[in-house]
Homo-oligomer: A and B are copies of this chain.
């Protein structure tokens, strides 16, 4: 670790210090001085005597006093040598601004490796490279070159300098919120997202963590940390790059289906992270979560003046899965007493002009509403703050009083209020007061609704929290000696895949029922084997060079008569030859026809960011056409496996659709857990595709299985 030496450094050497005002080496020192950094500053530049009145050193190791952190503003090629010097001086951390590393291809990657190795040799932790830098607002340690960043309780962690600028600008203009830290993670060459997350989890100044992510270098470590962090404080995240998804097509079914962003979103949400899709909602979501108590139940009341806003808010909150229940008769009676006759006291509450002469009525209503124990939170929409503008100036004092009362009400009831006001633009004092009491005020109805939405989402997560699977594999002690032999044999033969019987044997070793097959190497042997099987049989080619057997004409179904079996054997063999004259053929599997049942598919692949993931879906159209599948990062718990089964849209097909008996979900759950265990036990597996798997009222049968190996010598994750 040691992140505190970088993020909380008491002394900074600015390497590349400059007297040129347009240079970062000047701006950084200027801001550190202007903003009164409470530590020491040491300009470093062999060609300068002094910068901004501070004596300049030729190199870091020339500085007499200890130096905790170095801000390095010089070009990429100079960095390794500078780090050597820093290392000798005992510097603990460095911020590397320069681009030109891993993002620029082979040569850049080499330079990045050299830089990291040098840093590791001296135990220097690095932010960046290719970053805008970092700010510790409390210590006024600002090496970004951006002024007047407001101080507060949100830790901002981003992979884009201009998104940081956007969010900081927004915070300044639209909120009373500010930041505890800002970190531009850059290339994540050394310090990774999960380490920053850990640091902010432990930081007492930080009440919420706000992240913009384009890609993670270590998704699994990040998730593991996120599970810890979100129990303690909220994390809000926007992951961009949805549209790149389509391009990442992979060979197998699972690969083709595993849309990256879908995997990421599910994984993040399961770890309690609030995932945001619209960048306009990012800061308001963080503001709400940092300031307000999470909502204890999903019942929201809308308080409005007139129709339109209330209708739109009701639509939006419903889309966000919040409930708008009618208020209890008792509460309705109380409201009726203070509201005009035309008012509606159900939900949305419409004061129907009742605020025109007395906007204090909103506080009166809010008190009645939030004291109803069935209500979880209140959304006020409309003109509040602007009654003084629209009707009579003197109303401003009434609005301000109402704002004080609303603020205290939130503190007392611990139920959040969010306010939409179309007069927000005019910055009336009443709305500033609401913000003082930590009530978010939005001029967008949809964003106000989203604020309620994230408070409910996080509240729900905290309520539903239970111990989750650790994101490391427990390699079971039931030694998998035979399993390892299977892989060893495949490796020995230089294969990149297990043969179907091998894959099935592996599943069988792990307690799964597979279709019993026998290998025939001649037509006559096939006939003999079929004679021992009751009813019709299936015949399938076995070749390491033919992964998609049907495509190669390598599968024949519903055979019973000896002459049909003989002909099928010959046809499969000749099809295989046509498909690939070089194909190495082991023989032909003869299997009983699986009884009819519900077809499902289970697959695994290696995700770039999260390592092994598992996919479950219902076979045929549901998976292939409608992409109706559930994903999880492996390993999974029993509870997770069960949830996967229930969360696909077509899950109803498993529950006894159209009078059919329900299928054996327990068996599917066991299969998913067995796959999780197998993936954990054999790091050789790159992809697994169990398709089809037939589930019955009782039991399950893996009819076909395909396992692809990792490239020899390449680590999986």
A residues within 8 Å of B by Cβ?
99, 158-163, 165-166, 169-170, 173, 212, 214, 238, 240-243, 278-280, 305-309, 311-312, 314-315, 317-319, 324, 342, 382-383, 422-423, 425, 444-447, 620-622, 625-626, 628, 649-650, 652-653, 657-658
Distance between A312 CB and nearest chain B CB, rounded to angstroms: 5
Query: What would be 22 A-B contacts, judged by CB atoms less than 8 Å apart?
Result: A159-B308, A160-B307, A160-B309, A160-B311, A161-B306, A163-B308, A163-B309, A165-B422, A169-B422, A169-B425, A212-B308, A240-B308, A240-B312, A241-B311, A243-B314, A243-B317, A243-B318, A279-B312, A621-B653, A625-B653, A626-B626, A626-B650
Q: What separation, in Å, do the CA atoms of A240 and B307 have in the docked complex?
A: 11
Complex Cα gap A305–B163 (Å): 11
Bound-state Cα–Cα, A383 to B422, Å: 26
Q: A278-B446, A652-B625 are in contact. Are A165 and B240 (CB under 8 A)?
A: no
Seed contacts A162-B305, A163-B312; 13 additional CB < 8 Å A-B pairs: A159-B308, A162-B307, A162-B383, A163-B308, A169-B422, A169-B425, A173-B425, A214-B308, A240-B311, A243-B318, A279-B446, A280-B445, A280-B447
Min CB–CB distance A649 → chain B (angstroms)? 6
Set of chain B residues within 8 Å of A382, measured between Cβ atoms: 162
| In the complex, chain B residues whose CB is within 8 Å of the CB of A158 | 308
A605–B279 Cα distance when bound, in Å, is 41
Check A242–B315 contact: CB distance below 8 A: yes
Query: A315 to chain B: which residues have CB within 8 Å?
Result: 240-243
Q: Tell me whether B162 and A308 are in contact (CB under 8 A).
A: yes
Residues of chain B lying within 8 A (CB to CB) of residue A242? 315, 318-319
Most buried by B among A170, A278, A319: A278
Q: Which residue of B lies closest to A618 (CB)?
A: B621
Residue among B159, B383, B621, B653 making CB contact with A650, cutoff 8 Å: B621
The 4 A-B residue pairs with the shortest CB-CB distance, nearest first, are A160-B308, A163-B308, A243-B318, A240-B311
Chain B residue contacts of A160, Cβ below 8 A = 306-309, 311
For A214, A240, A318, A657, the residue with the greatest tally of chain B CB atoms inside 10 Å of its CB is A240
Q: Which of A307, A382, A444 has the most CB of B within 10 A?
A: A307
Task: List, in ascending order, chain B residues with CB within 8 A of A446's CB.
Answer: 278-280
| Assembly CA distance A425 to B443 (angstroms) | 14
CA distance A625 to B618 in the complex (A): 13
A128: min CB distance to chain B, Å? 14
Which B residues lie within 8 Å of A447 (CB)? 280
B309 touches A162 (CB 8 A): yes
> With a CB–CB cut-off of 8 A, which chain B residues contact A280?
280, 444-447
CA distance A90 to B272 in the complex (A): 69
From the candidates B324, B445, B621, B649, name the one contacting A279 in the complex (CB within 8 A): B445
Chain B hits for A422, CB < 8 A? 162, 165-166, 169-170
Measured in the bound complex, the distance between the Cα atoms of B309 and A158 in whole Å is 12
Q: Which residues of B have CB within 8 Å of A312?
A: 163, 238, 240, 279
Complex Cα gap A243–B166 (Å) = 33
The closest CB in chain B to the CB of A444 belongs to: B280
Pair B279/A166 contact, Cβ less than 8 Å: no
Closest Cβ of chain B: how far from A109's Cβ, in Å?
17
| A592 → B minimal CB distance (Å) | 22
Q: Give Cα A658–Cα B241 distance, bound, in whole angstroms.
A: 32
Q: Is the CB of A342 within 8 A of B626?
A: no
For A445, what are the chain B residues with a Cβ–Cβ distance below 8 Å?
279-280
A234–B188 Cα gap in the complex (Å)? Answer: 48
Which B residues touch A342, using CB under 8 A? 99
Chain B positions within 8 Å of A653 at CB level: 621, 625
Q: Nearest chain-B residue to A280 (Cβ)?
A: B444
In angstroms, Cα B246 to Cα A318, docked, is 11
Max chain B CB contacts within 10 Å: which of A163, A212, A423?
Answer: A163
CB nearest neighbor in B for A446: B278
A309 and B166: CB pair below 8 A? yes
Q: Which of B169, B214, B626, B628 contacts A311 (CB 8 A)?
A: B214
Distance, CA A445 to CA B430, complexed state (A): 29
Q: Please, which residues of chain B bring their CB within 8 A of the CB of A657? A: 621, 625
Taking the nearest CB of chain B, how far is it from the CB of A409, in angstroms? Answer: 24
Which residue of chain B has the shortest Cβ distance to A174 in the bound complex?
A: B425
* Min CB gap A308→B, angstroms: 3
Residues of B within 8 A of A318 (CB): 242-243
CB-nearest residue of chain B to A314: B243
Which one of B159, B170, B243, B319 lies within 8 Å of A243 (CB-CB)?
A: B319
Q: Which of B278, B305, B383, B626 contacts A649 (CB 8 A)?
A: B626
Contacts of A317 in B (CB 8 A): 243
Complex Cα distance, B606 from A227, in Å, reads: 51
CA distance A382 to B279 in the complex (A): 13
Q: Which residues of B contact A165 (CB under 8 A)?
A: 383, 422
Distance A163 CA – B163 CA, assembled complex (angstroms): 31
Closest to A658 in B: B620
Closest B residue to A308 by beta carbon equals: B160
- Whole-angstrom distance between the Cβ of A212 and the nearest chain B Cβ: 6
CB-CB nearest in chain B for A422: B166
Residues of B within 8 A of A238 (CB): 312
The distance from the CB of A194 to the nearest CB of chain B, in whole angstroms, is: 21
Complexed CA–CA distance, A319 and B170 (Å): 25
Distance in Å from the Cβ of A432 to the closest Cβ of chain B?
17
The docked-state distance in angstroms from the alpha carbon of A370 to that of B600 is 50
CA separation between A324 and B243, bound complex, in Å?
10
